Amino acid sequence: MRQKIVAGNWKMNKTEEEAQILTSEIMAMTGDEAGTSTTVILCVPFPFLGSLRNQVGNSPIKIGAQNCSEHQWGAYTGEVSAWMLKSMKIPYVILGHSERRQYFGEDGKLLAKKIDTSLAADLISIFCCGEPLSVREAGTHEQLVKQQVEEALFHLSAEQIKKVVVAYEPVWAIGTGKTATAQQAQDMHAVIRKHLASKYGGAVAEEISILYGGSVNAKNAQELFTCPDVDGGLVGGASLKSREFVDIVKAMK
Ligand code: PGA
C-alpha cells in the first residue's frame, strides 16, 4: 500500500529560534498521530537541518530539505550536495518546486540530474510538477504535467521510481488561497498515475504516493485527502502555523 504523507514546505521562512519553537509545538500536538499511518515531514531551510533533526530525534516526525545540487561534490559555491544531506541523515528532499523552476530556471533536464543524484545518495525525492494559470486556461494542463513527469522521471527504473514521491502543485494555487477543487486534484492525480502506469505498469504506479499542494489548509484538507488518488499534501503557508499544520495531519485518515 502506498504511503500517506503530509509534508510541510517552510520555504525561506523563520529564524533558528522560531524554527525550533514551531518544531516543538508540532511534536507536542501531533502526539501519536504522526508515524502511525501518515508520514509527517518538515522540509526546512538548509541552516536548520542539523538542529531540527536532533530536535525530532527518534520521534515519528522526519526532516527534509527543499533542494539539492545536481552535482556530487566540488567547486559549486553556495550549493548543497545530496551526499551532505545523506551524511546528516536527512531522508527527504523536495525537487523541482515551481518556485525553483520560476526563479532559478530549473527545467526537466536539470531535474532529471537532481533526481539521479538524490537517488544515488539514497534520498527520497518529493518531485513537484504543476501547470501555471495560462496553461490551465488553455486546457493543456494534463499534457504539460505529463511532460514534466516524463522529462524528470521516465529515465528511471521501476525500482528507482518507487523511491520518488510526486507532488502535483498547480502554480495558480500556490500561496494564492485558491485551492484546486477536490475534483480537479483527483482528475490530475489520476492522469499522473495512469501516465506512470503506462511506463512502469499498474502495480508500480499504485505504489507511488502522489501529494497535492497549493493552498492546502485545515478546512480543505479533509475533502482533498479523501480523493482516491490523493495520498497526502505538500503544505506551504499553513505549515508555518503549528495548530493549522497539525490539523491538516489529522485530516489525513
Ligand atoms: P502553499 O504552498 O500551501 O502556501 O500554497 C505550497 C507549496 O508551495 O508547496
Please list, in sequence order, all residues whose beta carbon lies within 8 angstroms of the beta carbon of residue 202, skipping any fewer than 6 positions away.
Answer: none
Q: What is the pLDDT of residues 96-145, one digit of tens each?
A: 999 999 999 999 999 999 999 999 999 999 999 999 999 999 999 999 99
Cα–Cα dist 34/27, whole Å = 9
238 Cα nearest atom in ligand 1 = 3
pLDDT confidence tier of residue 32, bands split at 50, 70 and 90: low
Q: Any catalytic annotation for residue 150?
A: no
Q: How many Å lie between the centroid of ligand 1 and the Cα of residue 81?
A: 24
pLDDT confidence tier of residue 31, bands split at 50, 70 and 90: confident
Evaluate if pTM is beyond 0.75.
yes
Q: What is the pLDDT of residues 48-75, one digit of tens each?
A: 999 999 999 999 999 999 999 999 999 9
> Whose alpha carbon is nearest atom 1 of ligand 1?
236
- State the fold for domain 4-251: TIM Barrel (3.20.20)
Selected catalytic residue, list 97, 141, 189, 195 = 97
pLDDT confidence tier of residue 4, bands split at 50, 70 and 90: very high
Q: How many Å lie between the centroid of ligand 1 and the Cα of residue 75?
A: 32
> Whose alpha carbon is nearest atom 7 of ligand 1?
236
Summarize the confidence of residues 168-183 as an average pLDDT: 92
pLDDT at 1 over 80: no
> What local confidence, expressed as pLDDT, does residue 253 receive?
76
Q: What is the pLDDT of residues 7-22, one digit of tens each?
A: 999 999 999 999 999 9
**Ranges of each domain in the chain:** 4-251
Q: For ligand 1, is residue 240 a contact (CB within 6 Å)?
A: no
Cα-flanking dihedrals φ and ψ of residue 129, to 5°?
A: -140, 165
98 Cα nearest atom in ligand 1 = 8
pLDDT at 152 over 80: yes
pLDDT at 82 over 60: yes
Cα–Cα dist 184/26, whole Å = 30
Q: How many Å lie between the centroid of ligand 1 and the Cα of residue 74?
A: 32
Cα–Cα dist 188/170, whole Å = 10
> What local confidence, expressed as pLDDT, does residue 33 receive?
59
Query: How far is CA 157 from each of CA 3, 10, 94, 160, 163, rounded to the nearest angstrom?
Result: 20, 31, 20, 5, 10
Please list, in sequence order, all residues whose beta carbon lies within 8 angstroms of the beta carbon of residue 148, skipping any fewer than 6 positions away.
Answer: 96, 108, 129, 130
Q: Any catalytic annotation for residue 155?
A: no
Q: How many Å lie between the centroid of ligand 1 and the Cα of residue 24?
A: 22
**Helix residue spans in 121-210 (DSSP H):** 133-138, 141-153, 158-161, 182-200, 202-207
Selected catalytic residue, list 99, 106, 131, 169 = 169
- For the chain, what percent of residues have pLDDT higher than 90? 92
214 Cα nearest atom in ligand 1 = 5
Q: How many Å lie between the centroid of ligand 1 and the Cα of residue 170?
A: 10
